[in-house]
Amino acid sequence: MVNPVYLGAFIVYLVLVLAIGVWGYTKTKTKDDFWVYGRNLGKWLATWSLVANFFSAVAAIGVIGETSKTGYAILVGVNFGLALGISGLYFVSHKIRALDEVTLSDIVANVTGREYARPVTGVILFSNAWVYLIIQLVGASVLVTAITGVPYRYMVWVIGIVFILYTVLGGLVSVAWTDLAQGTVMVALMTLTAAYLVVDLGGFTAMNTQFAAIDAANVEPLGGGEYTLITIVSSIVGFFGTIFTGQNVIIRINATKDIETTKFHLAAGGVIIGSFLVVTTILGAATGVALDNAGHTVANPDKAFPVLITQYMPTTIGTIIILGIMSAILSTTDTRLHALGVTLTRDIYDYFRPNTSDEHQLKISRATTIVFGLLATAIGANPPGTIFDLYSFRAVLLTTGLLLPVYVALYWRGFDGRVIIASMVLGGVFGVGTALVGGTVMGVPATLLGVGVAALVLLSGRVVLYRVPTADQSNDPQT
């Protein structure tokens, strides 16, 4: 049955973000405007864009649902890795800025001295952005379907088309300003929701007591078998890797107007993100307790929080929560759409069709955003797994393919570029291959196996193709 209050709130939300998209179109005149905000992104706009980008369907639906099912162990296995990733990015950001590039593929090509690294890296980044886009569309559609009563098969297309439209119109201008609005709303409303639930359940101590009564493993650091020490280490490495190697994050670093702004937005964003990770974990625990108290059993963890909203919360409170969750999900949807267009145009199309005009590249960016956005929407209509499953898969993809080789390339210029690229390809193939066939080989998780293969390629290549940096390289600012 359609809920007119929730549906009305959602429609107003879509109209507002479309209006920002139309405004962004008037401010987007060049390729650089569309890709990197004309390289003039300010401190707080960059900060809230970073925050909004990090909290998505994974946090608002996937992590909350997973926490309600498996307990606080996810705080160690996932959230700690994300916090480490932001910290690591802060300390490497000056090297990224010094290269004066646009995308991560540009950076890899620069430090390896191999131009063909651009499409190789671009394929990995595009695959990641596409999977992440599907995650956001699934999460948003599951939520809105649950609360409005509009069938999922219709809602996924409505959300997909609206966000394709406003991202295509204004590029990073639209994305950054909607992120500012959505990030602020998300943090405020989701924090209020967590506080409301904890108080409603009798306080934090009472809630934890009830959470432990459901399953004692819920309040254990390693859970009750869901996580082992090796899987937590793998998870930390995996999620740490997704931060540093995220195309959208690199684009924002290069979009900020100076290095001071770069450092500020990473530091301030890291504090906000770290605090909000605790909020989402508490929300997950509260969701598990509230559903159990109400006698609701949810088989699919992705549906836990939506069910809580519709079955447990008063309509007024539910509407507030919905706005917060939608802000979290859709602020990341536009980011991934934008990354798709930039990656395909700058990293892949431009390699095979160099020296095209800026105007032509802007058209290609918009066209590819539309085409692949619609394809992602079609897949989202029948997703191949849960939100958390898909998120874990893309963490393996990014980390095994890019984390170690790119860090080595930035900090140790004595490596031959061919070795770096071979490490990327083989690490990614082994990591993703392992993830697809079950997730482990002889007890070794896909992330650790892929990173291990990448390390072996780097070490063996160093021995076989060892070369001493030249005088020119010794003067390079990245040496």
Which pLDDT belongs to residue 466? 56
Q: What are the C-alpha distances in Å from 101 to residues 141, 303, 372, 410?
A: 36, 41, 24, 13
Residue 466 lies in a domain: no
**Cα(303)–Cα(147) distance, integer angstroms:** 11
What type of residue sits at position 309?
Answer: I
Residue 65 lies in a domain: yes
Identify the CATH number of the domain in which residue 373 sits: 1.20.1730.10
**Cα(105)–Cα(378) distance, integer angstroms:** 27
Residue 452 lies in a domain: no
Q: Is the entire prediction scored with pTM above 0.85?
A: no
**pLDDT-derived band of residue 204, with 50, 70 and 90 as boundaries?**
very high
CA 421 to chain centre: 24
Residue 424 lies in a domain: no
* Dihedrals phi, psi of 439, to nearest 5 degrees: 100, -20
Residue 450 lies in a domain: no
What range defines the domain where residue 144 resides? 4-395
Tell me how many domains the chain contains.
1
pLDDT tens digits, one per residue of 221-247: 777 666 677 877 887 777 777 777 778
Percent of the chain whose pLDDT exceeds 90: 21
Residue 400 lies in a domain: no
**Cα(471)–Cα(479) distance, integer angstroms:** 11
Residue 191 lies in a domain: yes
DSSP string, 237-291: HHHHHHHHT-HHHHHHHHHBSSHHHHHHHHHHHHHHHHHHHHHHHHHHHHHHHHH
Which pLDDT belongs to residue 471? 40
Percent of the chain whose pLDDT exceeds 70: 92
